[in-house]
Amino acid sequence: MKYKEILSFNFKLLEQKDSLDFSRKFYSDLGLKNYSTYWALLDINSDKFNSFYSLAKIYLNNKVANFYGFCTLTQSYIDNEDVEWYELVSSSLVHDLISASKFNHLYPEGKIYKFPETENIVDSIYYSLFFSQKLQRFIIEKNFSGIKFLWLSDTGKYKAKNWFIPVAEIPIGKGVDHDWFDINQLVNIDNEIATNEAYRNGISNFSNKHLKKDLKFTNENHTLLFELFENSDLTILSTRRYLKQHLPETDFAFGWDTVVGKDRRRTLFINKKVAFELLKENLIKKENLKPIEILDQPPYGIENLDIEAKFPTPLYTQSEFEIVKKYSIQCYEKYLKKEKPALSIKFEDSLKKLKKYLKSNGENHPTGLKKTIPNIPAEIIDILKISNGPELDSEVIIMSDQELPEFNNEINKNFENYDFENYETNELFHFAKSINGDWYSFNLDPKSNEFNFILRFSHEELAPIEKWKNFAEFLNEIINGYFD
């Protein structure tokens, strides 16, 4: 088997009443876990697929339930010794810390002090990946080819380590279309690939509405899956595939999305040899490497797009790079002249600020807790001793000692069948809520890279949407008008 195939789906009642209970039972009966309100994941090559198909088919035929939302089938190429290239990826997202500079919308700037200290690669989504100085220096010292760097402008108010924008110079190639994709559907896809010769590349992401007519699957589970989605949308997110004879001879290369947009995001690829060197030096992690499939020849009936191909520009054209580089150097020189304070907020100091904040707020806040309560983290007890359940903002309402046990039980019970990716729910202590239903958790898992972090969970996505490194930083920012 070349691919791991995961279906992400939302299956609920046509009538909205009691739909959540129905979805939860449907998933539970199949031995699946929710990862968001109505959503679940299924390996379509697992022994659970036949039961899923049979049960879903009954509800569909009886017009009781259906698939909703952005359902996807993700095909991930399974890593093996034949893999020659990887796409570099990162689950550490910093897009909310980054914005376009006034100088040029293609040159970002941001609050670098908030970047995760344990990572060497982060993703800005709209621009590119960013590399830590440690990773950037190693690449330069080793003289790896096909890549150059720009300093990432730091506009944060606290001292931070340097980060860099990697700019790959050579395209990895056009790639080839997915075997299932009907190229006659190019004109029906809502982007510019059909008219822009440079951006046209191998289609790996497409809708079930764009499948070849009379397509015969070799895997019966594919036939059954698309039968279930006959009247619903399913997006195939497959691995990128490239032709061996057209691969660059460099160590790094760039790819691109099929939509021509002003953000001009470029994906970054790395060859196997260099990837393994970076792994050996602990500069990247295995999860930073997404294997891509390399083919000797295009599959039967699939066009070779690399013959006499035109390509989009790198992240910057040569002239743009020189202009932005000059500006980047100017920013760095100014940065060196202005000494920024280190972010060293002490918890005791943030508690003093909290006292002043509540006193000057002019509202009646609950009096402080007079005793220590077991099974509640010490930092939360210290806050409750100042005010036992204060509303710091409509976005941050801290639970009292009486409310905390039930608050934690309710969240844990409601989401016991959910899969909180990267987090163990029994290691999260929930201590505050937002007016819109989001909640705040204290990560107590010492094995986590985010141990002692404060996490704001979205009640819709059931995933952290904001993070603080500790209670001191959290309280300091809330008191200073974080949500104003």
Distance CA 328, CA 323 (A): 9
Helices 347-361/378-386 angle, 10° precision? 30
Q: Enumerate long-range contacts of 357-363, CB under 8 Å, 24 or more apart.
A: 357/392, 357/479, 358/386, 358/387, 358/390, 363/391
Q: Which residues pair with 253 in a beta bridge?
A: 269
pTM: 0.80
The residue-averaged pLDDT of 245-267 equals 83
- Given a cut of 80, whether residue 426 has pLDDT beyond it is no
For residue 108, CA distances in Å to 259, 326, 328 come to 20, 14, 10
240 within 8 A of 87, measured Cβ to Cβ: yes
The pLDDT of residue 484 is 61
The pLDDT of residue 262 is 53
Tell me whether residue 146 is exposed, middle or buried, using C-beta atoms within 10 angstroms of its C-beta: 0 to 12, 13 to 18, 19 or more.
buried
Nearest to 58 by CA among 116, 11, 113: 11
Q: Which amino acid is at 127?
A: Y
Pairing of strands 65-67, 108-110: unpaired
The residue-averaged pLDDT of 422-426 equals 70
Of 465 and 418, more confident: 465
Nearest to 343 by CA among 147, 189, 115, 141: 115
The pLDDT of residue 26 is 93
49 within 8 A of 105, measured Cβ to Cβ: no
Of 110 and 448, more confident: 110
Q: What is the pLDDT of residues 471-484, one digit of tens each?
A: 998 998 888 877 66
Range in 68-77, 78-87, 351-360, 441-450 the model is least confident about: 441-450
Dump the DSSP string for 196-257: -TTT-----EEEGGGBPTT---SSHHHHHHHHHTTTS-EEEE---EEEGGG--SSSEEEEE-
- Given a cut of 70, whether residue 465 has pLDDT beyond it is yes
What tokens were used for 38? 């109505």
The residue-averaged pLDDT of 86-112 equals 89
Q: Which residues pair with 394 in a beta bridge?
A: none
Pairing of strands 108-110, 153-154: parallel
Q: Which amino acid is at 23?
A: S
The residue-averaged pLDDT of 273-295 equals 96
The pLDDT of residue 445 is 87
Nearest to 121 by CA among 316, 285, 315: 285
Q: What is the pLDDT of residues 303-350, one digit of tens each?
A: 999 998 899 889 999 999 999 999 999 999 999 998 888 877 889 999
Residue-range domain boundaries for the chain? 1-69+205-238, 78-175+240-341, 347-479
Of 419 and 305, more confident: 305
Which DSSP letter does residue 433 get? Answer: E
Dump the DSSP string for 93-144: B-GGGEEE-SS-TTSEEE-GGGS-TT-SEEE-SSS-EEEEHHHHHHHHHTT-
The pLDDT of residue 389 is 92
Distance CA 134, CA 201 (A): 33
Distance CA 191, CA 314 (A): 20
Choose from 348-352, 371-375, 461-465 the range with maximum mean pLDDT.
Answer: 348-352
Of 261 and 320, more confident: 320
The pLDDT of residue 185 is 82
Helices 378-386/471-479 angle, 10° precision? 30
The pLDDT of residue 257 is 75
The torsion angle over the Cα atoms of residues 9, 15, 20 and 22, rounded to 10 degrees, is -80
Average pLDDT over the chain reads: 89
The pLDDT of residue 93 is 86
167 within 8 A of 315, measured Cβ to Cβ: yes
The pLDDT of residue 271 is 97
The pLDDT of residue 417 is 62
Kindly indicate the confidence band of residue 260, based on its pLDDT and cuts at 50, 70 and 90. Answer: low
CA torsion through residues 448, 449, 451, 457, sign: negative
Nearest to 354 by CA among 368, 371, 374: 368
Nearest to 207 by CA among 236, 238, 177: 236
The residue-averaged pLDDT of 372-391 equals 90
Q: What is the pLDDT of residues 170-221, one digit of tens each?
A: 999 999 999 999 988 886 555 544 457 888 889 999 999 999 988 999 999 9
Q: What is the pLDDT of residues 122-177, one digit of tens each?
A: 998 878 899 999 999 999 999 999 999 999 999 988 889 999 999 999 999 999 99
Kindly indicate the confidence band of residue 85, based on its pLDDT and cuts at 50, 70 and 90. Answer: very high
